[in-house]
C-alpha cells in the first residue's frame, strides 16, 4: 500500500510533503512530485500536509493510472527530501482540472 501524488500537484509543487515524509520517498519532476511506492510505508503523514490536496491513498478507487505514473517516474526522477521554492505561479494553477494532459512535464527536477 502506498500514497500517490495526483493531478493537482502539477505546476503547484508546493513540496510541504517532502519535509514531513519519514522515509524520503518523494521524487521530483520538472513540475510535479511523485511517491516511490516501494519506499512509501503508508503512514499518511503527507496527505493532510499537501496544500493542493493532491495526495491520496492508493486504496481509493480510480487512481490506477496515477499509481502507475508515480511508480514510473519515481524510478527515473531524482529524490527530494528538502522543501525548495515551488513555482511562482503555483497559486494560479491550484485547482485547474486535467493538468496532466495540458501541463505535465516528464523532465526530471533538480532534486537535492
Among 22, 61, 88, 97, which residue sits at the site for another protein (rule: CB under 8 A)?
22
Q: How far apart are CA 95 and CA 29, in angstroms?
A: 19
Shorter beta-carbon distance to another protein: residue 19 or 64: 19
* 24 contributes a contact to another protein by CB under 8 A: yes
The footprint of another protein on residues 55-84 (CB under 8 A) is 81
Shorter beta-carbon distance to another protein: residue 19 or 89: 19
* 47 contributes a contact to another protein by CB under 8 A: no
What are the cell numbers at 52?
A: 493542493
Among 9, 10, 21, 80, which residue sits at the site for another protein (rule: CB under 8 A)?
21
Among 44, 60, 92, 106, which residue sits at the site for another protein (rule: CB under 8 A)?
44
Query: Which residues have a Cβ under 8 Å from the Cβ of 54 and sit 6 or more positions away?
Result: 5, 6, 7, 8, 9, 12
- Residue 86: how many CB atoms within 10 A of its CB? 19
Q: Collapse the DSSP code of 108 into the 3-class scheme (helix H, G, I; strand E, B; otherwise coil) and give the result.
A: strand
Burial (0-12, 13-18, 19+ Cβ within 10 Å), 65 = exposed
Q: By the criterion CB under 8 A, which residues form the site for another protein?
A: 1-2, 19-24, 38-45, 49, 81
Amino acid at each position: 500500500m502506498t500514497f500517490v501524488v495526483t493531478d493537482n500537484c502539477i505546476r503547484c509543487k508546493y513540496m510541504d510533503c517532502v519535509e514531513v515524509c519519514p522515509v524520503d520517498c518523494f521524487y521530483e519532476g520538472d513540475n510535479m512530485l511523485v511517491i516511490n511506492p516501494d519506499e512509501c510505508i503508508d503512514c499518511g503523514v503527507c496527505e493532510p500536509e499537501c496544500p493542493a490536496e493532491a495526495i491520496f491513498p492508493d486504496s481509493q478507487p480510480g487512481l490506477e493510472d496515477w499509481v502507475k505514473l508515480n511508480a514510473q517516474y519515481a524510478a527515473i526522477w531524482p529524490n527530494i527530501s528538502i522543501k525548495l521554492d515551488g513555482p511562482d505561479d503555483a497559486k494560479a494553477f491550484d485547482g485547474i482540472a486535467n493538468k496532466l494532459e495540458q501541463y505535465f512535464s516528464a523532465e526530471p527536477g533538480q532534486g537535492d
